[in-house]
């Protein structure tokens, strides 16, 4: 799919809004002790912001692992962002997979609170890159 510049910019803006909304969703889910659902929204908030970054750099894929790999190659490995960002994203992806598909999985509030903190850091830092 080829986007014109105006549509691409609108889609970037939309993905940033979705990422920020996901933060609010996660906070609500944590308050209501819905930790499994929170792991899903943490990952998708990060996914939305990564998608915005990919659009900005004309990278397209429908595969989550390819998007994460592209990000790590172009932003972590090249030293634009610290290694911890790659780790945060990988952790969110793994938690989401475990929460969505695992059996008898329980998440502790502290673990999810930490993941929310990492999510916010990833989203805010990528928003800085998008400016």
In angstroms, the Cα distances linking 72 to 39, 43, 67 are 21, 16, 9
pLDDT in tens, 83-114: 999 999 999 999 999 999 988 999 999 999 99
Mean pLDDT of 16-37: 97
Rounded Cα–Cα distance for residues 32 and 75 (Å): 35
State the pLDDT at residue 3.
82
Instruction: Print the SS3 string covering the chain.
Output: CCCCHHHHHHHHHHHHHHHHHHHHHHHHHHHCCCHHHHHHHHHHHHHHHHHHHHHHCCCCCCCHHHHHHHHHHHHHCCCCCCHHHHHHHHHHHHHHHHHHHCCCCCCCHHHHHHHHHHHHHHHHHHHHHHC
Using pLDDT thresholds of 50, 70 and 90, give the confidence band for residue 2.
confident
pLDDT in tens, 43-65: 999 999 999 999 999 999 989 99
Contact (CB, 8 A) for 112 and 30: yes
Domain count for the chain, please give it.
Answer: 1
State the pLDDT at residue 89.
98
Mean pLDDT of 109-120: 97
Domain that holds residue 79: 5-130
Using pLDDT thresholds of 50, 70 and 90, give the confidence band for residue 1.
low
Residue position matching structure tokens 């990278």: 59
CATH number assigned to the domain comprising residue 116 = 1.20.120.330
State the pLDDT at residue 109.
96
């Amino acid at each position: 799919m080829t986007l014109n510049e105006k549509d691409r910019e609108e889609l970037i803006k939309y993905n940033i809004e979705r990422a920020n909304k996901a933060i609010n969703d996660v906070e609500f889910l944590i308050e209501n002790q819905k930790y499994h659902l929170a792991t899903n929204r943490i990952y998708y908030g990060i996914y939305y912001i990564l998608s915005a970054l990919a659009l900005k750099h004309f990278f397209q894929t429908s595969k989550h692992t390819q998007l994460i790999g592209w990000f790590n190659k172009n932003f972590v490995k090249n030293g634009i962002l610290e290694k911890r960002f790659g780790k945060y994203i990988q952790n969110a992806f793994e938690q989401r997979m475990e929460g969505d598909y695992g059996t008898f999985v329980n998440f502790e509030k502290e673990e999810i609170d930490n993941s929310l903190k990492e999510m916010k850091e990833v989203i805010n830092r990528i928003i800085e890159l998008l400016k």
